[in-house]
Structure 1
Amino acid sequence: MGSSDQNEYYRKALDSLGRAVFVVAPDFRILAVNQTARARGRAGEGLFCYQIFHGRREVCPECPVAEVFRTGQQVVRRMKGPVREEGESLCLQATPIFNAGGEIEAVTVLDVDLAALGSLENELQRSNAFLRNLIMSSVDGVIAADMKGRILIFNEAASAISGYSIEEALTSLNIRRFYPGDMAREVMRKLRSDDYGGKGKLKSYQVDCLRKDGTLVPISLSAAIVYENGREVASVGFFHDLREKIEMERRLQKTQIQLLQAEKMASLGKLAAGVAHQLNNPLGGITLYAQLMLEEYALDEAAESDLRRILDDAERCRNTIRELLEFARQTRQEIRLNDLNHALSQTLFLLENQSLFHNIEIIKELDPSLPKVPSDVQQLNHVFMNIILNAAEAMEGQGQLRVRTSRSEDGRYAVIQISDTGPGIPEDVLPHIFEPFFTTKEEGKGTGLGLSLVYGIIENHEGKIQVSSEPGKGATFSIYLPLELRAPKGKE
């Protein structure tokens, strides 16, 4: 193809465009135009571009051609001022033409279809608005930041979790302040690793978020690095608050422990009942014959002493069997409406004159409006006495004992709280205190059935018992008894 053929080919290519094309010299004179420009009556070769486009006598202040000659870069600009004959606003795309020496010898100006451009802009605005609404209405927190940590995107969920307003985050918050310590650096290290969801990605990583008020919130974070031409330009993270989930897991674990405890108590109750019945008969024979020997025979002092020791030991065994039977719930419940305040006052009256309580301050906070509770008052007295005695022994006879009654917030339970100022219950002991035969007392000072029996009595009343304690701050036993029973209790 010869030079003239090439020029003709290029001319036809320009003429085939649906938009006007102008070639402008450094002095702003129009060197050439295409067929579309001629058809619109804008031939103008030899005239200045500002005359053709704007009817001016000098270069426009925002002239895109002048900017191209100055910078060597393409410029797209919507021009202000007079409109074209068709009544449309003017938008020009100016592109430099370089000679063999790399200098700009002219500028090609394309008259951009402003209607199409406006349509594209409107579509882009609608798309951006839709994406913004998606991000802002997400139930998960969304944060994007550039590689210097400046926040670019921050939605309402992120604001609720972090405590920062959206305006604060976008104007003054650095992503590094969103995490405690060097955790932001650690998150980026994991993002750049292949081990946590693939390079540039992080999936469901549990980490703490540092709120504006300084508190930590556990979150599940999924994040990614944004690349542009292979270069890291930003990071984006999607996260949700784990506090509710963690609390639900804690409650579920507590419920599972309580169910396991109930199953263990039921199994051990059956075993205890069987053992107690098996021991009762031979123990009765031992006691009977020892008593007969004391009454019927003239014995020396040593023999009589041995027989009395047998009787004493047999009585201790009988007491243990009685506890086993109570533990196994082999005694009848006598359910009546009882005044818990009166029952507690009676128990305290029986105990407060004992030497163990002489240096203990007893504080009673009994709600006089508390309704009567369907219960077996003898069994509840046993519960109160066991817990109060344990508290006094834990304080070694010195401290403060607080007994409080109230009604639960939902109105379904009577609540009894017994608190002491003793050393508290160690964390490793706390999960086991209601287990049968578990005791921290010295050998011979407890069977380990006391709190197990308490647990069983409360459970048989369709209630629940909880204990809270911190080392050095005492312990609190909270008993919840329903004001209405689902079904009558009591069995042989």
Structure 2
Amino acid sequence: APIRLGTRTIGFLNVDSSLPNAYSDADAERLQAFADQAAIAINNADLYSQLNNQTERLEAHVAERTEELEHERAQLNAILDSMTEGVVYAEPVAGKMHVRFVNTALTALTGYEESEWLGAAPAIFAQHNPDGQFMANVALTIVNRLSVQPRWQVETRIVRKDNTAFLANVSAARLVDPEGKLVGLVGVVHDISKEKALAEQRSRFVAHASHELRTPLTNAKTRLYLLKKQPEKTADHLGVLEAVVDNMRELVEDMLDLSRLERNLMTLKAQTTDLVPFVRELVELQRVEAEGKALTLCYEAPTEPVLALVDTKRLSRVITNLIVNAINYTPEGGIITARLVSGLHDSEIGDCAKIEIEDNGIGIAEDNLENVFQPFFRVPSEVQGTGLGLSIAREIVQLHGGDIYVSSALGRGSSFAIILPQLTPETPKLTEAEA
């Protein structure tokens, strides 16, 4: 009996006997019925095999696609975690936005751990600090804005978990599916505190520079007027004009130097230098000036060499400025000490030497200490100057890989300390180009 699947014969079912006419028509019908059932069973088995194969192919495809998606997700997370801006992604859950992802930068910026962010609604902020409700309101404002416009940007104050704050630029956008349904919100948080501070510093610099230049220009204009009116005093007026021009030139040169330093356009010509005779020579150059004010100028230094890789021209300007300041701000009979100390160690600089200029002069008020290295800052005094010397000094010292500090008390004098990397036998040798 043939075994058929539709119109296709896939086999035969035979029953043999050695006896003639052993099977009747009824037997043949039963055999055919059995063959038909066998065809159904074979067809079912074939369908089941095809279904299994299709299932296996689908499972393999799903596994492959899942692996691709996981790889893409890992790549995306790596990219987002490498960003310096904070990134947050939230999805709507039961009518409220819940955070699904934050990058490392955002946790560092805000102080909230990833586990605190994930699944949280804006109320997270109100749970941790007094200013939290303000932050919760900011978050809700962003969500509400994005409900009526596709993207929004705002500058706002963000309060960290420890209650400190920073100024941030927050850019947010909504994500929708092809039908326009909201699927999520993404926000980028950029800390602009330093940018704002630099912008304010530039504004102050321009304002101070304008003021400082206006004063000598006014003096020069006045002298020119007097020169016309009093020709018999020409020599006196020309002397004052020359002094005014010198002061203006000094101011402009200081401003240019500070600008170059802040923009990293000034390079050092560093060479290995023994600081002991180097500082001694700078002290001796100011001894006549100090003695002219009845000041005692001392120098204390080790007997052995103290080696450092420095630009002697730049560093001499710094040290000379500190000594001259000490002379200018110390009353007659005072004592100024230049001190060189070696063999120190700083956690950031490493092996280092310290050059200290100490006086017992008028000192600096505590409220002014944090401003002494700011451009154009001058303590209340009759001493003239551009107000840029200490700003330039700090930039030059930091360019050497060191730092400069001040300690002072009003009426008790001041101490400025320059910390510089010191060369020791263990210090790797650097070429001038590497320095």
Q: Larger relative contact order (C-alpha < 8 A, sep ≥ 6)?
A: 2
Q: Which has the higher helix share?
A: 2
The TM-score normalised by the length of structure 1 is: 0.42
The TM-score normalised by the length of structure 2 is: 0.46
Name the larger-Rg structure. Answer: 1
